[in-house]
């Protein structure tokens, strides 16, 4: 056996062209592989469906954060100027809604943007300066001009051989197991 069961076999294939990578990705998906991941130097939205991801929940969390930010911002103004220390300026209303709108809006945007930013990196589990893929010789080109596919759920040597055939046909330069030296 190429892998022991406990090793969670994962293979990576390197491609020189984005088109070759997308072709391989579709072929792998058609062959029944579901644990797929790509590494590309730029965003390729067309390959996303093949990864079989769930709809992101983050936008809802951001919307909720924005709503809470707005409520808190209005509450601060109301509390400060109408409740805790009612400020009578020439008999004008102490809770004037139009005057409180600018800061309420800014509070909404600020809270939403902060949650969007930190939510992004928390959901991606970053910062994580080390990752097993970084150990692969030549993987640093994944941010420059090389396109990688990572395949999990490879059950046997037979499986691995079939997988190699698929990606080689699509134009893979090489196939390497994760955590070992390349072949």
Partner 1 sequence: MAEPAGAVEACEHPQLDPYPVARELGDDAALTDQLLSPLWTRSKVWWVLFAISGLLALLFIVSATYTVARGIGSWGNNIPVAWAFAITDFVWWIGIGHAGTFISAFLILLGQRWRASVNRLAEAMTLFALVNAGLFPILHLGRPWFFYWLVPYPATMKMWPNFRSALPWDVAAIATYFTVSLLFWYTGLVPDLAAARDRAPGRVRRMVYGIFALGWRGAGRQWRQYRVVYLVLAGLATPLVISVHSVVSLDFSIAQLPGWHSTIFPPYFVVGAIYSGLAMVLMLMLPVRRIFHLEDVITRQHLDKIAKLILATGLMLAYSYMCETFIAWYSGDQFERYTYLFARPQGPYAWIYWAMTAVNVLVPQLFWFRKLRTNVVVLFAASVLIWAAMWAERFVIIVTSLERDFLPSSWHFYAPSWVDWGLLIGSIGVFFVLFFAFLRWVPFVPVSEVKRLRFEVRRKAKLEIALAGEKPSEALPEARLRLTEGER
Q: Which stretch binds partner 1 (CB under 8 A): 5-13, 88-96, 160-168, 174-182?
A: 88-96
Total residues binding partner 1 (CB under 8 A)? 65
Name the DSSP class of 92.
-
181 binds partner 1 (CB under 8 A): no
Q: Which stretch binds partner 1 (CB under 8 A): 119-127, 153-161, 163-171, 173-181?
A: 119-127
128 binds partner 1 (CB under 8 A): yes
Asked if residues 7 and 154 have their Cβ atoms less than 8 Å apart, the reply is: no
Q: Where does residue 38 rank: exposed (0-12), middle (13-18), buried (19+ CB within 10 A)?
A: buried
44 binds partner 1 (CB under 8 A): yes
3-state helix, strand, coil in the chain (%, to 5): 55, 10, 35
Q: Determine which residue in the list 4, 42, 137, 158 makes contact with partner 1, applying CB under 8 A.
A: 42
How many residues are recorded in the chain? 183
Structure tokens, 18? 């984005």
| CA–CA separation, 89 and 102 (whole Å) | 19
Binding site for partner 1 (CB under 8 A): 18-19, 36-45, 47-48, 51, 53, 56, 58-59, 62, 66, 73, 76-77, 80-81, 84-85, 87, 89, 92, 96, 99-100, 102-103, 105-107, 109-110, 112-114, 116-117, 119-121, 123-124, 126-131, 133-134, 140-145
């Amino acid at each position: 056996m190429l892998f022991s069961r406990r090793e969670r076999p994962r293979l990576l294939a390197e491609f020189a062209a984005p088109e070759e990578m997308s072709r391989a990705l579709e072929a792998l998906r058609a062959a029944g592989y579901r644990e797929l991941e790509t590494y590309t130097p730029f965003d390729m939205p067309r390959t996303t469906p093949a990864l079989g991801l769930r709809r992101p929940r983050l936008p809802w969390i951001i919307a909720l954060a924005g709503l809470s930010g707005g409520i808190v911002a209005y509450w601060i103004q109301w509390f400060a100027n109408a409740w805790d220390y009612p400020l009578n300026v020439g008999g004008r209303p102490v809770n004037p809604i139009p005057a409180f709108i600018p800061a309420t809006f800014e509070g909404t945007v600020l809270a939403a943007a902060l949650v969007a930013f930190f939510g992004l990196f928390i959901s991606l589990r970053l910062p994580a300066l080390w990752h097993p893929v970084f150990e692969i010789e030549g993987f640093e080109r994944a941010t420059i001009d090389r396109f990688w596919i990572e395949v999990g759920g490879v059950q046997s040597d037979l499986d691995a051989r079939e997988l190699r055939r698929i990606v080689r046909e699509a134009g893979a330069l090489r196939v390497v197991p994760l955590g070992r030296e390349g072949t």
